[in-house]
């Protein structure tokens, strides 16, 4: 390889480097298999060369619609070696959502799990040259067929730090879904933040319950590739399986959404297990009640870290460190409700949310919008300059999260400027559900809000005003939503209202609906 060609380090270099320095160390572990760094690098090169023969080159879009697996990560790395752009898609999408995102991304090759074969065959995507099944030959190609037919020679495609490596979507069925553009600089910085803030070493054995289509799942796994440590990869979170690995199989670090922690605390293996080898639990992606956090700390007796951020668009923003958690146990219990302080490399401000012309800081103790600047901030939204301009101001990202800062510099969330709902770590945008329910027979008007839930953090509640004489069959309405939306977006609750609270301009006051 002519290293003079490549002036900057690439994410793609990490697997090659560790295949040389720790070739026999486990890179990925599953319930049944182990893949060493040397094996993974060889397979990545084979997949990359096979994709090149399919016509995939620098800048081409490769989508992944699959549950988690080592092969999924190999595909990401193969794309990075080619300079192609990988597009991780939520595997809970409905067929219309899938088609919309594949078309928006201008997908050239689609990798998928067999369980989604019918959906993949149903979509119509201009420019799609091949589908690849991870599990069998149900696509145009099989994954293991690509591996078998590929070449292990190293591939050296120069990719500058400001070039696109990932296109991650924030939502599904809207006319203009937001495709968040991740540069190589952003990807590298987010991974480095992960390694530093989670205090990972080359001997770590880590599991992230966030799926690989989420930034959290992707970054924790790439952190293992970069740091040279072992990552547990499971198809999806299963409480019994994860509890077994935590109690008996040597995991020393995990990342969990609060809902998952709540579920694990009821598992017999957790209730009865010995967690002396467990070093730390990182949590985030959704609100965590102090009561739940206290229960988890009492059971696991390890270090805890609250990792808060706008992962898809701005990476990690704040961290409540293990030391902060210990202060809470020592008497400063209010810290259990804090999201901590700015993370590594993050310049953080609290700004007036109503100032649309610039950024005006608010004083300590006053609620403001979290605004950050770092190398982990996105390039922007794909083909949406106006939407990009709303959230990026001179390099500063304003994502709508509201917080206040105490005299010691700790931040405390105070709701969201936007109406986004977070259910078990999944972001849900009410407009998507409102668009679908607004087409349901008999519905005149609809407003969707998130309401607190002990298990999920928040669940979706749909408020509807019906046409005169109409009645609402809740089960039928849910079934209709499921044909157009991912399951987690389907309303858990319905409320039939005579009218909605509104302001002087006629806008629905969702804060009042939430309080009902």
Strands 457-466 and 493-496: parallel
Q: Which pLDDT does position 490 carry in this prediction?
A: 96
The pairing of beta strand 130-133 with beta strand 421-423: unpaired
**Strand pairing partners for 256?**
283
Q: What is the pLDDT of residues 337-349, one digit of tens each?
A: 899 999 999 999 9
- Determine the pLDDT at residue 176: 56
Residue 249 three-state SS: coil
What is the pLDDT averaged over residues 257-265?
89
* pLDDT digits 0-9 by tens, 374-412: 999 999 999 999 999 999 999 999 988 888 999 999 999
What are the backbone angles phi and psi of residue 219, rounded to the nearest 5°? -70, -40
Q: Which CATH architecture has domain 3-195?
A: 3-Layer(aba) Sandwich (3.40)
Check whether domain 423-514 has CATH 3.30.300.30, yes or no: yes
Confidence of residue 170 (pLDDT cuts 50, 70, 90): confident
**pTM listed for this prediction:** 0.86
| Cα 319 from Cα 300, distance rounded (Å) | 20
Mean pLDDT for the stretch of residues 180-194: 97
Which class in CATH covers the domain with range 312-418?
Answer: mainly beta
Task: Please check the confidence at residue 7 and state whether its pLDDT lies above 80.
Answer: no
pLDDT at 259: 83
Interval 61-78 mean pLDDT: 98
Name 364's Cβ contacts closer than 8 Å, sequence gap at least 6.
404, 405, 406, 407
Q: How far is CA 314 from CA 176, 177, 347, 440, in A?
A: 20, 18, 11, 36
Round the average pLDDT of the chain to a whole number and report it. Answer: 92
What ranges do the domains of the chain cover?
3-195, 312-418, 423-514
- For 480-498, how does the pLDDT look when each residue is reduced to its tens digit (9 = 90+)? 999 999 999 999 999 999 9
In which order are the strands placed within the sheet that holds 253-256?
34-36, 26-29, 230-232, 205-208, 253-256, 280-284, 303-310, 315-320, 341-342
What's the rounded Cα separation, in Å, for the pair 329 and 165? 42
What residues are paired with 87 via a beta bridge? 63
Q: Which residues pair with 279 in a beta bridge?
A: none
Three-class SS of residue 46? Answer: helix
């Amino acid at each position: 390889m002519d290293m003079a060609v490549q002036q900057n380090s690439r994410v793609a270099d990490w697997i090659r480097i560790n295949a040389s320095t720790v070739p026999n160390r486990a890179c990925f572990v599953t319930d049944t298999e182990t893949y060493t760094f040397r094996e993974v690098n060889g397979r990545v090169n084979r997949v990359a060369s096979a994709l090149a023969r399919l016509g995939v080159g620098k800048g081409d879009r490769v989508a992944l619609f699959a549950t988690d697996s080592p092969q999924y990560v190999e595909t990401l790395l193969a794309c990075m070696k080619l300079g192609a752009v990988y597009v991780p898609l939520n595997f809970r999408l409905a067929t219309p959502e899938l088609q919309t995102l594949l078309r928006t991304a201008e997908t050239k090759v689609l990798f998928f799990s067999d369980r989604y074969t019918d959906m993949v065959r149903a979509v119509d995507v201009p420019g799609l040259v091949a589908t690849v099944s991870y599990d069998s030959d149900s696509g145009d190609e099989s994954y293991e067929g690509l591996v078998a037919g590929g070449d292990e020679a190293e591939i050296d495609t120069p990719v500058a730090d400001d070039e696109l490596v990932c296109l991650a979507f924030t939502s599904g069925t809207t006319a203009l879904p937001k495709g968040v553009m991740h540069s190589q600089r952003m990807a590298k910085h987010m991974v480095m933040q992960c390694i530093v803030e989670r205090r990972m070493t080359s001997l770590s054995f880590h599991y992230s319950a966030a799926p690989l289509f989420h930034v959290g799942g992707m970054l924790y796994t790439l952190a293992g590739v970069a740091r040279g440590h072992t990552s547990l990869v499971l198809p999806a979170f299963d409480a019994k399986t994860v509890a077994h690995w935590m109690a008996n199989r040597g995991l020393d670090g995990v990342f969990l959404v609060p809902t998952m922690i709540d579920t694990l605390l009821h598992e017999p293996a957790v209730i009865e297990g010995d967690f002396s080898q467990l070093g730390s639990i990182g949590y985030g992606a959704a609100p965590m009640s102090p009561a739940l956090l206290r229960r988890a700390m009492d059971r696991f007796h390890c270090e805890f870290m609250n990792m808060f951020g706008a992962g898809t668009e701005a990476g990690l923003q704040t961290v409540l460190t293990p030391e902060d958690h210990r202060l809470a146990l020592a008497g400063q219990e209010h810290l259990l409700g804090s999201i901590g302080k700015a993370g590594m490399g993050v310049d953080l401000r609290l700004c007036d949310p109503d100032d649309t012309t610039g950024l005006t800081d608010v004083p300590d103790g006053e609620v403001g919008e979290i605004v950050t600047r770092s190398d982990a901030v996105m390039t922007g939204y794909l083909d949406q300059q106006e939407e990009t301009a709303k959230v990026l101001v001179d390099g500063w990202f304003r994502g709508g999260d509201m917080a206040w800062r105490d005299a010691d510099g700790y931040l405390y969330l105070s709701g969201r400027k936007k109406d986004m709902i977070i259910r078990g770590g999944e972001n849900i945008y009410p407009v998507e559900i409102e668009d679908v329910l607004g087409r349901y027979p008999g519905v005149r008007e609809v407003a969707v809000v998130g309401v607190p839930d002990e298990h999920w953090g928040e669940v979706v509640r749909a408020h509807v005003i019906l046409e005169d004489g109409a009645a609402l069959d809740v089960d039928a309405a849910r079934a209709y939503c499921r044909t157009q939306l991912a399951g987690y977006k389907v309303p858990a609750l319905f409320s039939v209202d005579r009218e909605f609270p509104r302001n002087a301009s006629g806008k629905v006051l969702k804060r009042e609906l939430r309080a009902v």
